[in-house]
Amino acid sequence: MKRILIFLTLISCSQKPEPIKFGKDTCDYCKMLISDPKFGAEIVLKTGKLYKFDDVGCMVSFIFERNIKDDEVKNFLVVDYKTGKLIYATRSFYILNDNVRSPMAYNIVAFENPDDADKFFNENGGKIMNWAEVIDYTRRHSGR
């Protein structure tokens, strides 16, 4: 019996990302339905707890409101604007472009591949950002 409990505990505390179920999952920050497959984000804590968001801005706002420390986090993930897959937020390339309408109007798109980011920037303009700049921008522009 003890082995079963340990096994179940290990399973429930997995530290793996989980695909966002667009049209079904809700944002853990603003409580809106996550519906746009070009946007979204996740935090996976080292405890195995997972949070999902409809916009990178919601994720960053959630981090600050909940006072989540970097050493508590296994992964910060964002949706790649081109491919729709979850990618590591800290290693992504970002473009702020007000002509792009993200769900919560932070208007930041993320790319895993720098060539995809360059192509988007060359075609659409905007401001190129890294993870630290996304955090700073979100903190300054948060509506909460």
Number of domains within the chain: 1
Q: Where are the alpha helices (DSSP H) in the chain?
A: 2-12, 56-65, 114-124, 131-141
Residue 137 is assigned to a structural domain of this protein: yes
Residue 6 is assigned to a structural domain of this protein: no
Residue 12 is assigned to a structural domain of this protein: no
Residue 93 is assigned to a structural domain of this protein: yes
Residue 46 is assigned to a structural domain of this protein: yes
For every one of its 144 residues, what pLDDT tens digit does the chain have, with 9 covering 90 and above?
444 434 444 444 557 889 999 999 999 999 999 999 999 999 999 999 999 999 999 999 999 999 999 999 999 999 999 999 999 999 999 999 999 999 999 999 999 999 999 999 999 999 999 999 999 999 888 754
In b/e form, how buried is each residue of 59-85, taking b as 16+ CB within 10 angstroms?
Answer: bbbbbeeeebeeeebbbbbbbbbbeee
Looking only at the bridges linking them, the beta strands covering 93-96 and 127-129 are: antiparallel
Residue 8 is assigned to a structural domain of this protein: no
Could you tell me the pTM of the whole model? 0.86
Residue 34 belongs to domain spanning: 17-141
Residue 10 is assigned to a structural domain of this protein: no
